[in-house]
A and B are shown apart, each in its own frame.
Chain A
Amino acid sequence: MITEVLTVAAEAGESDHNPIIPLWQEVVLGLIAFSILCFVLMKFVFPMMEKTFAARVDAIEGGIKRAEAAQAEANQLLEQYKAQLAEARTEAARIRDEARADAEGIRQDILAKAREESDRIIGAGQEQLAAQRESIVRELRSEVGSLAVDLASKIVGESLADEARSRGTVERFINELGPAGSAGGRR
């Protein structure tokens, strides 16, 4: 490429301009223009871009950090809730057990009371029955005596009236009784 340029330059030697000899006016202008460009871009534009890049990285990393913090907080809350839930569950189980025990106790109590009551009622009934039986027996006894006497007297009277053959017996009985027999006969 350089040789190509040199040959072109050699041909150009015949004309007014040599393309590999810089024009000093253009050098000056190029220097000024490029300096202005460098000054503006390197002072006002690219440092701002670096700042923006840094801010962007910061924002993204900050975002990640915030997300991590939120995640950690959420996890902590979850743990807390789980612990609370477990606590509540054991509490509920305990209460249920207690209630069951209470109910059992109450049932036993009531049963015992009922049994006692029934025993009491049965006892009272039996006592009453016994008393009634006693009195009935007593009554019956006295009544049976008189009834027997009545019946006996009736039987005796009948036989006296009806059967002539028993006359001798009655007379004998009366004779045996003597004076006492008259008193007994009145009775």
Chain B
Amino acid sequence: MQNEHQPVLSVRNLKTNFFTDEGVVRAVDGASFDVHLGRTLGIVGESGCGKSVTALSILRIVPRPGRIVEGEILLRQETESGQSQEVALNSLGENSREMRSIRGAEIALVFQEPMTSLSPVHTIGNQIIGAARLHRQLSKQEARELVVELLGLVGIPRAETAVDSYPMQLSGGMRQRALIALALSCDPRILIADEPTTALDVTTQAQILDLLRSLQEQKGMAIMLITHDMGVIAEMADQVVVMYLGRVVEEGPVDTVFGESKHPYTQSLLRSIPSIHSTPKVQLPTITGTIPHPYNRPAGCPFHPRCPDVIPGVCDKHEPELHSVGDEHQVSCFLYHPVPETSP
């Protein structure tokens, strides 16, 4: 049995850059967080904050010209003798045997687009059978039985016939369920869900979130939920990581991040969402300006040009780092930690 307090996956100071002709894009710029079994880590941020690239980096499927330039991704595995060991995924080759056996089997990914991430010319069943037989010793018949069971588990009605249907015969919600079944086919310990409900309607979204929660209860897996929707995060996550332009700006337990957020970005983001409970027809507090283009990333703290509490001469010169401000609560902002004396 694994130590409950030990994270199953640790990401330390991850930096993933894209080396394009126009310049270097620092898509992920020093992200650190832990993922625990049986718990849900929510990664939230607006477009371009690097949340999806973080997921791709963990699975080592960053598309060219992107590359992990720094940092560690540590996966805790159990050896046959029952001892646990850490595997540094960042040092494995992208196409190495070890990485291929981890990808899909230990860490599975559910994509955003249920319309485009399934092959249109293969039946749902064949796609899942193919994935399952890659990682497990199963006969075709056994694999098919497993798939029927999985499709039932994710709530697809009439699973015996649904196995032989093509993706286009299913609705968006059913396709997302099929994708989740595909991800679960090898019993992963970590499920990364990248915007799993963004393309779905609210009532379908409620169904899928409910499904993810009950699957986690049954299987005890860790879920890394990536989304831009603060509502989904509040509903699902135990631990929250807020990202902005590739950097983690705030990290902590969900109640703390929503209740006592410290970083000006988190605070203004939460204030700018119209809520069912807020006063209608009043001007919403906004964040001035727009998200900078990744080529023109501001110096110092990337949020300083839009920040209401900017300290001139400090925020535009130095890059803040994550500092603890409470129980498991970390913020990277000069309002909460001293300014470095010497410039780096």
Bound pair (A, B): no
Chain A residues in the interface with B (C-beta under 8 A): none
